[in-house]
Chain A
Amino acid sequence: AQSVAQPEDQVNVAEGNPLTVKCTYSVSGNPYLFWYVQYPNRGLQFLLKYITGDNLVKGSYGFEAEFNKSQTSFHLKKPSALVSDSALYFCAVRDWENQGGKLIFGQGTELSVKP
């Protein structure tokens, strides 16, 4: 079965420190992977994606993610966290068993950045 897992419900980081939000996946086809961010009472906003190419993907707001095929991971990273990065982060993978190209979302990780 295809799935995506975010093993941490919450990540706490001090402002200025590097942050990592973890994501692992299991798919039957090529892994097309996405990260989204959600601020309170808002919809999800696209951050970055991996379809093919370089394993290190750069996205919005200084975020990047590293695709690791052997570890089936796609962790989200940022070198220096900001308080404004505090939000809910979702990892997603394309569902190859669905013709419509539906995304499967992880359960979300709440990132809290303290001053």
Chain B
Amino acid sequence: ETGVTQTPRHLVMGMTNKKSLKCEQHLGHNAMYWYKQSAKKPLELMFVYNFKEQTENNSVPSRFSPECPNSSHLFLHLHTLQPEDSALYLCASSQDWTVGYTFGSGTRLTVV
């Protein structure tokens, strides 16, 4: 257990469904991140939140909608996804860049 918890671990959803991924950390970190990891591709940074404010959105399609209600929780709301959105979605948090990130175990998403 790293201190960053992601739920669910696995998710299968249809293209018309709406679902949410959850990330929770009680490490006292003030920055949280969503990454997408597809097979045979590098990590893709999706969103960055610092002190609950979104500071980066890397041209992510609007079918992905992040939410950060407080510094401990981060959500990724999903709707009308495409099969190519199937991937491992990783959440990470950090307090200070000198100690890097702490990652969750990820949510394996399959869009059918």
Contacts and interface: CB of A to CB of B under 8 A. Distances in A.
B110 interface: no
Contacts of B100: 34, 36, 46, 49, 92, 103
A67 interface: no
Contacts of B96: 101
Interface residues of A, number: 24
Q: Sort chain B's interface into a size bin.
A: 20 to 34
Interface string A10-32: 00000000000000000000001
Contact of A90 (B2, B31, B43, B55): B43
A115 interface: no
Contacts, number: 62
B2 A101 contact: no
Interface string A88-112: 0010101000111111011110000
Contacts of B101: 44, 46, 103
6 contacts: A42-B105, A43-B90, A44-B103, A46-B100, A49-B98, A51-B98
Given A43-B4, A105-B43, 16 more contacts: A32-B98, A42-B106, A44-B90, A44-B92, A44-B101, A44-B103, A49-B99, A92-B100, A94-B97, A99-B50, A100-B31, A100-B55, A101-B94, A102-B45, A102-B48, A103-B101
